[in-house]
Structure 1
């Protein structure tokens, strides 16, 4: 199962390389099957998309481009032109089209449509009103970026489990050591 703490598919897609600041980051998209599962779990499609190794390589390239653009936007730096061109190329392509069936809403997608959905979401997030709400997780090892829609924009972690719990537990242990307890 994949994690979706970012508040937008593009942020969660970029976050599939977890704990980037560790010497051993965790790759959540390590196979074509995990890529297919991510698209289904994210809601971009309702069925597994047949994915090949080449699709996985393409996904990782798109993911890194999205991540570079997110970091540039958050820090006020200029966008990397290659990353910008790659995301914009995908964003120009058709996205999945929901259909109404007797059972309700149904969405199927090709791999290209799924990539386009992620790219269009990146354009919406980075060019929209929520861009000022982007934050990186307060866990020094975590690199997940999320949209902080909390009251007063006081959210510190991508999610309580695991990041918030780890930081709170470490702070508690430090307070106990300081008080001699």
Structure 2
């Protein structure tokens, strides 16, 4: 739910309107809203995002999780989720063509529950890129990954390190 760009370095809200929420549902691969998203649903989505963010920082810092954040995630997770059906071929899962926004947010909340309570919970990391505010799950064998993506933050760090070691190089 990285819908605040450059968190802590400018905080650009990407869920500014209910329309933005509908766009995010589509981009995130979640069922589109059955009805136009409402300001209340936008508030719920932001509250869920902030709760997940607080819980993620707690995990990264090894701190006690915020109880209010846990309640927000649990409340969102308790909503009914969109129905998935079996396709005509008998082996393909067919996602719901649309769903209430609360149902799509329940999927996000349940993913958060699975992440924070599952076998990869100890692998949640914060990217160390100097201008990055993303989290990631370190799936590397040694568990020593430092960047959200080598192609983005890792490459920037490698290039900066090279330029520092070789000041005359272009």
| 1:35 corresponds to 2:21 | yes
**Which of 95, 99, 108 is residue 106 of structure 1 equivalent to?**
95
TM-aligned CA deviation for residue 140 of structure 1: 2.6
- For the 8 Å contact 1:44–1:96, the answer to whether it is kept is no
Call closer, same or farther: CA 1:106–1:91 in 2, change over 3 Å: closer
TM-score under structure 2 length normalisation: 0.84
TM-score under structure 1 length normalisation: 0.79
- Which gives a bigger RCO, structure 1 or 2 (Cα 8 Å, sep 6+)? 1
**SS of the counterpart of 1:44?**
coil
Cα distance in structure 2, aligned partners of 1:168 and 1:147 = 21
- Of Structure 1 and Structure 2, which has the larger fraction of its residues in helix? 1
TM-aligned CA deviation for residue 42 of structure 1: 1.9
Q: Which ranges of structure 1 fall in alignment gaps of 5 or more residues? A: 1-12
Task: List 4+ stretches of structure 1 deviating above 3 A.
Answer: 100-104
Equivalent residues in 2 for 1:153-164, closer than 5 Å: 153-164=143-154
| 1:174 corresponds to 2:164 | yes
TM-aligned CA deviation for residue 101 of structure 1: 4.7
Paired residues in the alignment total: 164
Match of 1:80 in 2: 66
Cα distance in structure 1, aligned partners of 2:82 and 2:7 = 30
- For the 8 Å contact 1:96–1:113, the answer to whether it is kept is yes
Larger radius of gyration between Structure 1 and Structure 2: 2
Computed over aligned residues only, the root mean square deviation of the Cα atoms, in angstroms, reads: 2.1
Match of 1:17 in 2: 4
Q: Which ranges of structure 2 fall in alignment gaps of 5 or more residues? A: none
